[in-house]
Chain A
Amino acid sequence: MNKNASFGLGLVVAVLLVLPFVLPNSYYTDLAIRMAINAIIVIGLNLLIGFAGQISLGHAGFLGIGAYASAVLPTHFGMHPLLAMAAGAAATAVIAGVVAKPIFKLKGNYLAMATLGLGIIINIALRNEAQWTGGPDGMAVPALSVLGFELSSDKQWYWVVAALLVISVWASLNIIDSPFGRALRALHGSEVASQVVGVNIVRYKVSIFVMSAVFASIMGSITAHYIGFVTPNFADFFHSIELVTMVVVGGMASVFGSIVGAVLLTALPQALATFEGWETVVFGAVLMLCMIFLPKGLVPTLAAKLGKGE
């Protein structure tokens, strides 16, 4: 890790440590937890979109697999929640892996189409298999308990999610600096050139796709346990779009941008709740304006203005 990255990681840790003492009430703690959860998903997605240059419009589908694994397996089969979470992650890895190989021969808009299709199929399946998933109404999720200790209060959840966020930031900063990360950036720059220097591009794309899908699946499980309820909306197309938007607004290929994007776009709908009925319009306008005036995203644009890269 270079100096800026270490500084950023330190800043994230410091903010996370101070935050619980300045948040006025449980509404804000809840908001902070949701922001952190989204931030972790977006960091994973940014590895795929920003660093490897591959788009996914179906990531909410993987989130849905994880969430529903944590809901369905303990409820119907009495499986331990941690085991269910692992099973969801494994299922996601298998699905993502099997689908990824043919998908990643595709590029740009065709890739967008394929991932979008995959996400929609998962969503439709969750909606229709009502005997398992509760259909469009969703279902309750049992509490997450580890070694007899049950996670229940907002404060406990805050520390778990904060720890996961720090681990994700640290891990992804390391991945970016590893030979694997350099290969990803190389194939983003030029696929042909990286192939020529010996990067097996399909294998790298598949690995990063599976990795970010598993990120999403595990966080889907965590969200499900935290909220205590899942609905198919977890996995719908609009949620996939929200995640991609967080990546782009925060800044592609920027780990800290992912956090900023997740924080802003998780807060936005809450802030817009006062606009009664106009939320969709304002949300759409914010997306468009961001893309037109800050096409590189917030963090890279600001970093460039301050005269130093991340």
Chain B
Amino acid sequence: MLSQFLQFLFSGITVGATYALAALGFTLIYNASNVINFAQGEFIMLGGMLAVLFAQMGLPLPVVLLLAVVIPALVGILMEKIAIEPVKGADTVSLIIITIGASLIIRGLIQVWLGKGTFSLPAFSGDAPIHILGATLLPQSLWVLAVTALLVAALWYFFSHTLTGKAMLATSFNRTAAELVGINTNFVLFLSFAMSAGLGAVGGILVTPITMTSYDVGIMLGLKGFVAAVVGGLGNGLGAVLGGLLVGILEAMGAGYISSAYKDAVPFVLILFILFFMPRGLFGGKSTDRV
């Protein structure tokens, strides 16, 4: 009983960490621009696929990791420059469609370039499972959790202790006021796309040894990251992380105890319930309308 529960919990926390990174990506961009970036999932896919590609070329692991994070970040920047900056202030539907267009382009290019196959990456430090109270934990899961925790801590430090981080926060609270005190909000937008693409890519690389990857994994991963971000109250960084873990754990529990066929439905049932009863997510603030 306990070992089974622990087993589901371990796998839930592991995927949950990826969702958390994706949700943080959504949050960063949303805060900088009010855009919901439907291409977020493609950055996760890009990270995983590029890591596989460079690893197959025989490059050393640190170089592989670096390239597989930096290239998606550059793609994020490119997307921001070409598609988001020129249409600033467009309405929600138009922005959603632009980001969906971008995601189709990224997914389509990878499909043409690397094919429709499913790929895996060797685990960073072996496959020997660790036994805990009858449940097994893959060493790669520890990598996922440790790196995610480090990134979250680094982001916390960035937003609370550096001038650039504070400028990004200020922009998310009130764009006009931020501009008035001399913050370059275009740079904030630029940085938020680079950071969230990089975060997504890191998540994608880390889980690839466990879940494998292919050109089309980005859709579901991205949508679940979006669910996680909304669960946490869109725009709330800590909420996004907790939302990601919650979505991951519930999904694993649902798959284990209820039905593995309906695993992918769990996050969406969850989000409908949460939105019905707490329309601004679990950790979202109250909103008021300006007339």
Contact = CB atoms under 8 A, between A and B. Distances in A.
Contacts of A238: 219
A118 B272 contact: yes
B234 A110 contact: yes
A277 B92 contact: no
Given A113-B271, A124-B262, A281-B109, A193 B230 contact: no
A288 B227 contact: no
Contacts of A292: 83, 86-87, 98
Interface stretch (A30-38, A99-107, A157-165): A99-107
Contacts of A285: 101, 105
A209 to B, nearest CB: 15
A192 B289 contact: yes
Interface stretch (B15-23, B174-182, B206-214, B274-282): B274-282
A287 B104 contact: yes
A180 B63 CA distance: 62
Interface in A98-132: 99, 102-103, 105-106, 108-110, 112-114, 116-118, 120-121, 124-125, 128
A121 B112 contact: no
Interface string B211-250: 0000000010001001100100010000000000000000
Contacts of B262: 124, 128
Contact of B93 (A124, A125, A252, A280): A252
B98 A291 contact: yes
A124 B102 CA distance: 25
Nearest to B235: A109
B275 A113 contact: yes
B83, B100, B223 — which one has the most chain A CB atoms within 10 A of its CB? B100
B253 interface: no
A106 B275 contact: yes
Given A110-B234, A291-B101, A120 B90 contact: no
A278 interface: yes
Nearest to A106: B279
Interface stretch (A81-89, A138-146, A240-248): A240-248
B169 interface: no
B219 A279 contact: no
Greatest chain A CB density within 10 A among B83, B261, B268, B280 is at B268
Interface in A262-292: 277-288, 291-292
A120 B265 CA distance: 7
B1 interface: no
B172 interface: no
Contacts of B226: 113, 116
A49 interface: yes
Nearest to B86: A292
A295 B97 CA distance: 10
A99 B272 contact: yes
Contacts of A287: 97-98, 100-101, 104
A288 B272 contact: no
A237 interface: yes
Q: Categorize the interface residue count of chain B.
A: 35 or more
A144 B66 CA distance: 59
B276 A102 contact: yes
A114 B265 contact: no
Given A108-B92, A277-B112, A114 B271 contact: yes
A248 B94 contact: yes
A218 interface: no
B93 A49 contact: yes
A40 interface: no
B105 A248 contact: no
B291 interface: yes
B97 A280 contact: no
B289 A124 contact: no
Contact of B227 (A55, A109, A117, A128): A117
Contact of B271 (A57, A105, A117, A283): A117
A277 B116 CA distance: 11
Given A192-B289, A277-B111, A288-B101, A110 B87 contact: no
A248 B98 CA distance: 11
Given A248-B93, A292-B98, A284 B108 contact: yes
A110 B111 CA distance: 31
A22 B160 CA distance: 68
B102 A103 contact: no
B279 to A, nearest CB: 6
Contacts of A244: 93, 96-97
B94 A278 contact: no
A206 to B, nearest CB: 14
Pairs of residues from A and B, 7 with the lowest C-beta to C-beta distance, nearest first: A284-B104, A280-B108, A287-B101, A281-B108, A288-B101, A117-B268, A284-B105
26 contacts: A57-B96, A105-B279, A109-B92, A110-B234, A110-B275, A112-B36, A113-B230, A113-B275, A117-B227, A120-B223, A120-B268, A121-B265, A191-B289, A192-B289, A237-B219, A241-B97, A279-B108, A284-B101, A284-B103, A285-B101, A286-B101, A287-B97, A291-B97, A291-B98, A292-B83, A292-B86
